[in-house]
Amino acid sequence: MTTPESRSAMVDANRSNWDSRVPVHLDSAFYDVAGFIERREPRLDAVEREEVGDVAGKSLLHLQCHIGIDTVSWALLGAAATGVDFSAPAVEAARDIARQMYVDVSFVQSDVLQLDLRRQFDVVVATHGVLCSLMDLA
């Protein structure tokens, strides 16, 4: 059984892990942040685009957005996008990427299991690698 204290310790350890990945990912060839900023083209795979559909004119919430590349991509496709991540360095990097691209995107630092934005969204998206970070899917 997971106690509140052990859950808190696991969340803190996971957040620390993701905080430490931000500078590595910003400089990695895999993320190619500089190329993304320069090309200003959405970077979403076919499955994501097909499953989510047309987002133009819709409000979209992207959970566990990390450094925001997918969130900015949704905005480039016309969504009023909001990205959420629990890592402060990731959210700051995401804001910086959007700022450099002159793309209007909102980013919020929060644990998605504690999130309360007091509004509804047309589309809520969570993609690659997010389920392993959620201790209670219910």
- Write down the pLDDT at residue 138: 61
Q: Is a pLDDT exceeding 70 seen at residue 1?
A: no
* Residue 91: inside a domain: yes
* Residue 101: inside a domain: yes
- Residue range 38-52, pLDDT digits in tens: 999 999 999 999 999
In whole angstroms, what is the distance from residue 66 CA to residue 19 CA?
Answer: 9
* Residue 118: inside a domain: yes
Domain count for the chain: 1
- Write down the pLDDT at residue 3: 83
Q: Which secondary structure element, helix H or strand E, spans residue 125, and what is its range?
A: strand 123-125
Kindly indicate the confidence band of residue 8, based on its pLDDT and cuts at 50, 70 and 90: confident
Structural domain boundaries, residue 85? 4-133
What number is the average pLDDT over the span 99-111? 96
* Residue 73: inside a domain: yes
| Rounded percentage of the chain residues whose pLDDT exceeds 90 | 76
What number is the average pLDDT over the span 72-91? 97
CATH of the domain at 53: 3.40.50.150
* Residue 138: inside a domain: no
Q: Smallest Cα–Cα separation from 105: which of 81, 134, 122, 126?
A: 81
Output the pTM of the full model.
0.90
* Residue 114: inside a domain: yes
Q: Which residues of 56-73 are buried (b: 16+ CB within 10 A; e: fewer)?
A: eebebbbbbbbbbbbbbb
* Residue 14: inside a domain: yes
